[in-house]
Each structure stands twice: as C-alpha cells, then as structure tokens.
C-alpha cells in the first residue's frame, strides 16, 4: 500500500505515468517479476474514482507495451534458433520445444491468447514460437489480439473495482489487484486441469 500511496497517487496526473506503465509492461514480457498487471489494474481503479489517469491512454500504453514485449521475445527466440537450444542436451528444453511446436501447429490461437494472461507462460510460448520458427506473419495478428484482450481485461477489472469503491481509491486499487491475482490463479488451475485431462485421455 505504501507503493500505491507514495508513487502511484502523486503521479496520477502526470503524462509520465503512461510512459512508466508502458515500460513496466515491456519489462514484464522479458522478466515476469515486474508487476505490470497489478500496476495497470491499480491505475484503472484509480481512474474510476478520479479524473486521472485517463483510461484510453492507459489502455493504449498497456496494449502497445504488451505487443512490443511479445514480439521482441519472439524475435529473441528466433535469433537463438532451435538447434542452439537443442545442442544444450537438456531434456526439459527439448520437451518444451517439441510441445510448443506441436501446439502451435494444432491450436496456435488458444496457446498465444491464453499464455498472454499468465506471466511465465507468455514468456515461454513467445520465446519458443520464435525458436521453432513459427511463421511471424501468423504470430503477429495473434499477438496483437492477445495483447489487446489482456490490456482491456486488466483495465476493465480495475475500473469496475474502482467504481465500487469510488469513495476510497486506495481500497479500490487494492481490491482490483487482489481480483487480478485470484483470476490469474484460477486460470492457472483451469489450464493445469485441462492438461491433466488431455494426458489421461479423458
């Protein structure tokens, strides 16, 4: 809460806030330790109870940041190349490449869209998509769609939570972040169950 009170609130009316949000989203694409979802959700919650920040620039910053990050991760994977990673002779890496290659051929839209909502999954999927040379012309539209949906979801979640607690913006921001965390955990569980059912052939 100190971070929200001391950093976010004072910058709420500054255009630099959108730049910071953009940079955080880009960094999160490479290093999922940066809490970009939490920041976007918190800012949207704040927007619901005050005149700033504005939702449209926030939505654009989140979307553009996600697109840049995911494309850059793909291109890094392409530069590394599959052969270089397979030469490491690490079984988990080989399995990941095989799984990503097969999944991208059979259900690329679902894989890229779902992975965008899970920090480590989006890093793995985008990196391996480049590594296994999944066609870039097919990856870009999926990336743009996934990034747009991800940004819209986080902004909408934060805004709704902020509207419910308009009289207390800090409480609205905290609730929005909590909801984002719960939704992320739930999505992780659903995907894990689906994978388990597929392995069992249910």
Q: What pLDDT does residue 113 have?
A: 82
pLDDT at 11 over 70: no
Give the C-alpha distances (Å, rounded to integers) separating 43 from 13, 147, 163, 178, 198: 11, 18, 12, 14, 38
Measured distance CA(150)–CA(119) in Å, rounded: 11
Range with the lowest mean pLDDT among 109-113, 122-126, 173-177, 186-190? Answer: 173-177
Q: What is the pTM of this model?
A: 0.74
Arithmetic mean of pLDDT, 45-72 = 89
- For the segment 17-56, what is each residue's pLDDT rounded down to a tens digit? 899 889 989 998 888 776 788 888 888 888 877 777 889 9
Q: What is the DSSP letter of 7?
A: I
pLDDT digits 0-9 by tens, 155-191: 988 888 777 755 555 555 555 556 555 655 665 566 5
Q: For 1-6, what is the mean pLDDT?
A: 48
Quote the mean pLDDT of the chain: 76
pLDDT value of position 151: 93
Q: Where are the domains of the chain?
A: 2-197
């Amino acid at each position: 809460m100190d971070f929200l009170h001391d950093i976010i609130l004072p910058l709420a009316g500054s255009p630099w806030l959108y730049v910071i949000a953009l940079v955080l989203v880009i960094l999160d694409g490479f290093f999922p330790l940066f809490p970009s979802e939490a920041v976007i959700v918190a800012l949207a919650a704040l927007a619901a109870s005050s005149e700033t920040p504005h939702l449209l620039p926030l939505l654009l910053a989140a979307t553009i940041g996600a697109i840049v990050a995911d494309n850059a991760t793909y291109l890094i994977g392409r530069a590394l190349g599959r052969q270089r990673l397979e030469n490491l002779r690490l079984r988990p890496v080989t399995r990941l490449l095989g799984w990503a290659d097969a999944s991208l051929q059979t259900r690329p839209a679902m894989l890229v869209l779902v992975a965008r909502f899970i920090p480590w999954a989006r890093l793995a999927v985008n990196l391996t998509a480049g590594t296994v040379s999944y066609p870039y012309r097919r990856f870009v539209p999926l990336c743009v769609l996934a990034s747009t949906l991800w940004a819209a979801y986080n902004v909408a979640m934060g805004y709704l939570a902020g509207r419910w607690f308009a009289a207390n913006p800090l409480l609205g921001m905290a609730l929005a972040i909590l909801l984002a965390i719960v939704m992320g955990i739930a999505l992780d569980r659903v995907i894990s169950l689906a994978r388990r059912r597929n392995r069992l052939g249910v």
